[in-house]
Amino acid sequence: MKTILNKITVALIMLVITINFSSCNATKNANNKQKGSVIGAAGGAVLGGVLGNNLGKGGKGTEGALIGGVLGTGIGLLLGNRMDKQAQQIESEIPGAKVERIEDNIIITFDENSGVYFATADKFLNVKSQETLDKLARVIKEYPDTYIFVEGHTDNVGSAASNLKLSQERANSVTRYLDYNKGIDRGRITTSWFGETQPVYDNSSSYGREKNRRVNITIKPNEKMIQDSRNN
């Protein structure tokens, strides 16, 4: 009986993985990092089942490990699908933005045509930045079960201390705009700042400094979304 149950359970695992891999947008439209996390989750479930089969002989460890593997994979794929949908909407609303799905997070990097950038020593949002945040806020409101992480950065013009303060002011400008102007719940937003310590381009050129005067935004699922994924 156990042998039959084990075979059925293994077959179910393979069926679930096959269906999800053939239909999941996260696999079809993913970048390499995203594919790696999806494949890794599925592979981990199979490996967990194999280990459970070897370690659980003589008891119910086999069924528990296999079923746990299936549930774990389902939760990961369901979360991934929900976050994929949100990421795709952001890409559609803001075509110039670079949107990456890494694990269950959405990492948004804006370019000079669509993003949130600042003039030298400036902490205020320009019109273009506000337009970008308006588009982003529309998508964020559709997905209330997520957290938003706002990070402020600067170039290396000026002292490290002044740049740290400036990056804080830039991040706060974005947070305030999303909160007061767009009605995003302040409790969903975490604000941090890094001054000149995390450049993405070479500060030796004006182009590089312009790229480094930025605010990055990361979107992550909150506990409710995670729990809903477990229950569905």
DSSP class per residue in 68-87:
HHHHHHHHHHHHHHHHHHHH
Helix (H, G, I), strand (E, B) or coil at 189: strand
Residue of 68, 96, 84 lying closest to 30 (CA atoms): 84
Highest mean pLDDT: which range of 3-7, 94-98, 138-142: 138-142
Phi and psi angles of residue 200, each rounded to the nearest 5 degrees, phi first: -105, -15
Structure token digits, residue 132: 């970008």
Share of the chain above pLDDT 70, in %: 66
Which CATH number applies to 110-230? 3.30.1330.60
Amino acid present at 168: Q
What DSSP state is assigned to residue 125?
-
pLDDT confidence band for 157 (50 / 70 / 90): very high
The reported pLDDT for the residue numbered 117 is 81
* Range of weakest confidence among 4-8, 165-169, 224-228: 4-8
Structure tokens at 22: 């053939």
Q: Which of 111, 210, 193, 108 is nearest to 155 (CA)?
A: 210
Q: Does residue 167 contact residue 214 with C-beta atoms inside 8 Å? A: no
